[in-house]
């Protein structure tokens, strides 16, 4: 009996690791692996996770705009094992130390204009060949407004903008350096950008905003986005019984995003590198590419059959498109600078700054640092979110009441004046951001009438507000739902609930400023 | 059987001498060393077109098992790897660019070279699509060379681009806008670098010299300006070509071996494509062309072993069979692949030498301006 007891104990001891090995799959645990990716890839994340699961690896996809990914590469180590921006130009231009290797395009996505079907009908665009000139005509005639991401912060916005510029030049196959000095080209581009109704730093978020508009009653008319994102948006719109978008492929040229996935060599060893090559091979194998093609993405010739054309929405991933060649990097940089400084719709931004008692100490220091960034042109210019003379900035520091209000344009001297005043702020008292937002709206009202500016209220706060949401909501409704509210949260114990409600009501977004207020404020600028 | 202390002592000395001698011998013979002990890791930069070769399991296996070498080869443009401080400051143990001229350029950048030797050769070719190539034949720019392969009068094509001709004017009716050929950034990558040299020589009527450069550099600059964005590496450009299709990339510059490699990567895909695709990739061989030699530069003595390994018969045959690289003299290997035989020219006779390094550096400065 003692022998049996011994055997039983031994078998039990052996069984534990054996079971663990069986439960965890055939091999040992895979690596922890992170990918810095554009938001348009979120629909592909389940495929990535399927592969990671098969290798017992823990994979995290972090979503950021193309410029954020580019800046992370420029700084050296982006802190992730792979990057997956929308287009390789962001890697080629910013990865100066060549840390990214084994770059391969996973899909191709033209950036097109999705127009509410009834609007497309009204414009006579159903079944018609539409050029960028036709789009310009509709915008200038006041017949069309659209959503488009910021050209300096997001790839789809940059692509749409470059296509418009190329159309303005009249030879849409390529933009060359001298073209950007021609006044008529700039006039055309400015005319087209007047059609921007809302902007954003992320193409995925912008598509959600379009759908939210159906629920909230904003009913946007059109959106520039990736062909595949327009398809995803349509799937959801149709499921909710809303009108779908009709795809317009400008006949004279579109820009195509090539969705490159590249490995970031951070010296984590052979295992991590071969995990990456296997992941990439998995995403490019015929089976996976077939699944990817079903999402409306274009895949390499011969890999899988593209999604069938849909006459109702005009979406057709097998349709050949005239592709605009990306210009040279110096031309792109100049084009983006001109966008930010001369061509985009000017912004009208009210900054409600929480200087209540709870902000004393590190909160106050970080707020003032963020103001130093936001109102120092040399720093904002580095990341292409600088203000210009056409922009208007309102500053409203608040506690349980508004301490003072100041107004300035983006002129450099006026920014300096505004900053000097902001730097004198000291924390104390309670918190009421509803009153601040309502006051901001009242101050903005006279400038909203002519429709020249893209308005936004930005509330930076670390806590719960006193007062009532109705203080702001009734004024906002009375004003015609025009101004979105963005929140920047700060501190570890912030309650986002109230800000989320304001953002949801107005089509805004709440950003987490707990890691870096400066980064959060920069991100907000991409939406305004 | 007891061993005397003296015999034991002598045995110990002899064993130690044998071990030392063995160690020295093995160090000098990497082929044997690979079978013992820990593999030697080498870090360096290689042109994108060799990334597939370096990632090939058969190649990695042979390098590690037979030669005791594990290669950490990072992709970098051939020109930038021999010039850019950001790359050279990372202290690569080897550089593997794609042109012999770049060995001189590396030297002039202050790179201390232990040894250099040409490993592969690959002609510079143009990649296009069958229907576009047929158009170019009609337009008198290209000529059929038996089967789906072509030769191209590059000089005539360049002149049409410089004149701003539309695609339709040179026989390609269904492409919009002006004719262009796209290569990599000549200041970063070798295929663009070599194409710049070839274009300059063709436009000047002979291998371009310092005194003839100023006559034609403006025209070369026009050809390059018309390209718009030029990717930093040839591997990336080729990927864009196959992924983008005829509308996005009608005509690009590349190495002959790139198509071979792409076809071999997935033979089924190639068969599907040959059967169904609306446009099929084709090679146009410029007459004359330039050969891209792929010299391995060992910066540290330790990397000399890599030269020995790569020039071994087995690795050279793998390079041809799996990746389409011709040998050091431009000759093809033993293997024949039925999928590609009708698309490659076995012999390439019209070959121009590259201009000298100082001329090329002056041309690069002109193109960067």
Q: Which of the residues B228, B241, B267, B268 would you substitute to probe the A interface, choosing the one with the greatest number of A C-beta atoms within 10 Å?
A: B228
pLDDT at B77: 85
- Mean pLDDT (chain B) is 87
Of A89, A96, A329, the CB nearest to B86: A96
Among candidates A37, A33, A26, which has minimal Cα distance to A72?
Answer: A37
Q: Which of the residues B178, B226, B248, B265 would you substitute to probe the A interface, choosing the one with the greatest number of A C-beta atoms within 10 Å?
A: B248
Q: Are strands A406-409 and A392-398 parallel, antiparallel or unpaired?
A: antiparallel
- Of the pLDDT bands very low, low, confident and very high (cuts 50, 70, 90), residue B28 is low
Q: B350 to chain A nearest CA, in Å?
A: 32
- The answer to whether A363 and A462 are in contact (CB under 8 A) is yes
pLDDT at A287: 93
Q: Could you count the other beta carbons within 10 Å of the beta carbon of residue B366?
A: 17
Which residues of A fall within a CB distance of 8 Å from B74?
A: 98, 101, 265
Whether residues A101 and B75 touch (CB distance < 8 A) is answered with yes
Least confident residue range of A35-39, A209-213, B100-104, B264-268: B264-268
Phi, psi of A147 (to 5 degrees): -95, 140
Choose between A497 and B3: higher pLDDT: A497
pLDDT at B1: 45
pLDDT tens for each residue of B254-302: 999 999 988 988 888 888 888 777 788 999 999 999 999 999 999 999 9
Chain A CA closest to residue B279: A301
pLDDT tens for each residue of A489-503: 987 677 789 999 999
- Of the pLDDT bands very low, low, confident and very high (cuts 50, 70, 90), residue B29 is low
Instruction: Please compute Rg for chain A using Cα positions.
Output: 25
SS (H, E, C) B138-165: HCCCEEECCCCEEEECHHHHHHHHHCCC
The secondary structure of residue B278, as a DSSP letter, is S
pLDDT at B279: 84
- Of the pLDDT bands very low, low, confident and very high (cuts 50, 70, 90), residue B26 is low
Of A92, A105, A172, the CB nearest to B243: A105
pLDDT tens for each residue of A199-249: 999 899 999 999 999 988 889 999 999 999 999 999 999 999 999 999 999
| pLDDT average, residue stretch A94-121 | 92
pLDDT tens for each residue of B106-158: 999 999 999 999 999 999 999 999 999 999 999 999 999 987 899 999 999 99
Q: Could you count the other beta carbons within 10 Å of the beta carbon of residue A464?
A: 15
- The answer to whether A393 and A407 are in contact (CB under 8 A) is yes
| pLDDT average, residue stretch A14-31 | 53
A21 pLDDT more than 50: no
pLDDT tens for each residue of B82-98: 999 989 999 999 999 98
B76 pLDDT more than 80: yes
pLDDT at B32: 53
Of B225, B227, B247, the CB nearest to A323: B247
- The answer to whether B152 and B287 are in contact (CB under 8 A) is yes
A26 pLDDT more than 50: no
- Mean pLDDT (chain A) is 89
Q: Hey, which residues does B71 pair with through a beta bridge?
A: B42
A132 pLDDT more than 80: yes
Which residue is associated with the tokens 């792929």?
Answer: B294
Q: Could you count the other beta carbons within 10 Å of the beta carbon of residue A305?
A: 14
A19 pLDDT more than 80: no
| pLDDT average, residue stretch A372-398 | 93
Q: B257 to chain A nearest CA, in Å?
A: 18
ipTM of model? 0.70
B14 pLDDT more than 80: no
pLDDT tens for each residue of A329-366: 889 989 999 999 989 999 999 999 999 998 888 888 88
List the 412-441 stretch of A: residues with Cβ below 8 A of B. Answer: none
pLDDT tens for each residue of B180-209: 999 999 998 889 999 999 999 999 999 999
pLDDT tens for each residue of A277-310: 999 999 999 899 999 999 999 988 777 888 999 9
pLDDT tens for each residue of A403-459: 999 999 999 999 999 999 999 999 899 999 999 999 999 999 998 888 889 999 999
- Rounded Cα gap, residues A285 and A67, in angstroms: 29
pTM summary value: 0.79
pLDDT tens for each residue of A45-69: 999 999 999 999 999 999 988 888 9
pLDDT at B336: 78
Chain B CA closest to residue A286: B269
Cα separations (Å) of A385 from A59, A74, A358, A421, A521? 32, 17, 29, 21, 10
Residue-wise over B78-89: b if at least 16 C-beta within 10 A, else e? bbbbbbbeebbe
Q: A321 to chain B nearest CA, in Å?
A: 7
B31 pLDDT more than 60: no
| pLDDT average, residue stretch A258-267 | 92
- Rounded Cα gap, residues B95 and B97, in angstroms: 6
Choose between A476 and A320: higher pLDDT: A476
Choose between A14 and B233: higher pLDDT: B233
- Of the pLDDT bands very low, low, confident and very high (cuts 50, 70, 90), residue A261 is very high
pLDDT tens for each residue of B303-344: 999 999 999 999 999 999 999 999 887 777 777 777 777 888
A100 pLDDT more than 70: yes
Q: Which of the residues B74, B243, B270, B368 would you substitute to probe the A interface, choosing the one with the greatest number of A C-beta atoms within 10 Å?
A: B243
Choose between B151 and B235: higher pLDDT: B151
């Amino acid at each position: 009996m003692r022998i049996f007891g011994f055997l039983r104990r031994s078998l039990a001891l052996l069984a534990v690791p054996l079971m663990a090995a069986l439960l965890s799959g055939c091999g040992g645990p895979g690596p922890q692996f992170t990918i810095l990716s554009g938001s348009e890839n979120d629909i592909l994340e389940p495929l990535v996770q399927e592969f990671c699961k098969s290798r017992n690896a823990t994979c995290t996809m972090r979503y950021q705009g193309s410029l954020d990914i580019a800046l992370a590469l420029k700084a050296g180590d982006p802190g992730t094992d792979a990057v997956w921006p929308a287009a390789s130009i962001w890697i080629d231009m910013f990865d100066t130390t060549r840390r990214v290797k084994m770059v391969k395009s996973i899909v191709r996505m033209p950036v097109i204009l999705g127009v509410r079907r009834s609007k497309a009908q009204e414009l006579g665009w159903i079944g018609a060949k539409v050029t960028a000139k036709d789009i310009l005509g509709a915008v200038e005639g006041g017949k069309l407004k659209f959503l488009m991401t910021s050209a300096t912060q997001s790839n789809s916005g940059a692509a749409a903008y470059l296509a418009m510029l190329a159309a303005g030049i009249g030879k849409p196959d390529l933009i060359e350096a001298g073209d950007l000095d021609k006044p008529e080209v700039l006039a055309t581009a400015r005319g087209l950008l007047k059609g921007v109704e809302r902007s954003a730093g992320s193409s995925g978020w912008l598509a959600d905003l379009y759908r939210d508009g159906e629920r909230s009653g904003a009913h946007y008319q059109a959106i520039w986005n990736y062909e595949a994102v327009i398809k995803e948006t349509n799937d959801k719109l149709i499921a909710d019984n809303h009108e779908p978008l009709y795809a317009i492929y400008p006949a004279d040229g579109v820009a195509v995003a090539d969705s490159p996935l590249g490995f970031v060599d951070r010296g984590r060893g052979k295992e991590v590198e071969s995990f990456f090559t296997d992941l990439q091979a998995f995403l490019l194998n015929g089976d996976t590419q077939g699944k990817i093609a079903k999402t409306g993405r274009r895949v390499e010739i011969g890999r899988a059959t593209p999604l069938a054309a849909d006459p109702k929405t005009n979406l057709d991933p097998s349709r050949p498109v005239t592709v605009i060649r990306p210009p040279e990097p110096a031309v792109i940089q100049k084009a983006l600078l001109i966008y930010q400084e001369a061509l985009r719709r000017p912004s009208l931004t009210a900054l409600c700054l929480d200087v209540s008692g709870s902000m004393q100490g590190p909160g106050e220091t970080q707020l003032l640092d963020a103001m130093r960034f936001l109102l120092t042109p040399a720093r904002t210019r580095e990341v292409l979110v600088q203000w210009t003379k056409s922009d208007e900035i309102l500053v409203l520091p608040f506690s349980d009441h508004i301490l003072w209000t100041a107004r300035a344009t983006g002129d450099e001297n006026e920014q300096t004046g505004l900053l000097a005043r902001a730097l004198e702020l000291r924390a104390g008292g309670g918190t009421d951001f509803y009153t601040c937002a309502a006051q901001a709206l009242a101050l903005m009202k006279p400038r909203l009438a002519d429709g020249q500016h893209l308005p936004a209220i930005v509330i930076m706060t670390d806590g719960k507000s006193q007062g009532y949401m109705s203080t702001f909501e009734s004024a906002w409704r009375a004003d015609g739902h025009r101004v979105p509210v963005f929140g920047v949260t700060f501190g570890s114990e912030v309650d986002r609930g109230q800000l989320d409600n304001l953002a949801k009501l107005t089509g805004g977004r709440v950003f987490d400023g707990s890691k870096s207020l400066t980064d959060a404020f920069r991100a907000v600028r991409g939406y305004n | 059987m007891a061993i005397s202390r003296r015999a034991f002592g002598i045995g110990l000395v002899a064993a130690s001498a044998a071990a030392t001698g063995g160690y020295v011998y093995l160090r000098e013979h990497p082929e044997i060393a690979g079978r013992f002990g820990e593999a030697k890791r080498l870090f360096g930069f290689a042109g994108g077109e060799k990334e597939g070769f370096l990632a090939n399991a058969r190649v990695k296996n042979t390098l590690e098992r037979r030669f005791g070498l594990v290669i950490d080869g990072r992709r970098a443009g051939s020109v930038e790897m021999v010039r850019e401080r950001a790359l050279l400051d990372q202290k690569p143990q080897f550089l593997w660019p794609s042109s012999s001229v770049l060995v001189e350029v590396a030297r002039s950048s202050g790179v201390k070279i232990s040894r250099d030797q040409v490993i592969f050769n690959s002609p510079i070719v143009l990649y296009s699509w069958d229907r576009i190539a047929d158009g170019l034949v009609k337009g008198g720019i290209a000529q059929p060379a038996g089967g789906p392969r072509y030769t191209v009068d590059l000089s005539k094509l360049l002149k049409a681009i410089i004149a701003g001709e539309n695609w339709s004017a040179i026989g390609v009716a269904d492409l919009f806008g002006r004719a262009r050929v796209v290569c990599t950034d000549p200041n970063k990558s070798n295929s663009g670098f070599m194409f710049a040299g070839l274009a300059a020589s063709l436009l000047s009527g002979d291998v371009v010299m310092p005194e003839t450069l100023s006559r034609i550099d403006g025209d070369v600059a026009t050809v390059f300006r018309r390209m718009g964005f030029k990717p930093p590496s040839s591997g990336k450009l080729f990927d864009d070509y196959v992924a983008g299709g005829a509308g996005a990339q009608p005509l690009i510059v590349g190495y002959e071996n790139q198509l071979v490699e792409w076809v071999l990567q997935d033979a089924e895909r190639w068969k599907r494509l040959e059967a169904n695709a609306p446009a099929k990739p084709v090679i146009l061989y410029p007459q004359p062309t330039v050969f891209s030699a792929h010299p391995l530069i060992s910066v540290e003595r330790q990397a000399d072993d890599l030269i020995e390994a790569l020039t071994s018969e087995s690795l050279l045959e793998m390079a041809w069979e799996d990746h389409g690289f011709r040998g050091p003299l431009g000759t093809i290997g033993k293997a024949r692949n039925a999928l590609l035989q009708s698309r490659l020219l076995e012999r390439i006779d019209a070959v121009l030498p590259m201009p000298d390094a100082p001329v090329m550096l002056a041309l690069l400065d002109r193109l960067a301006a």
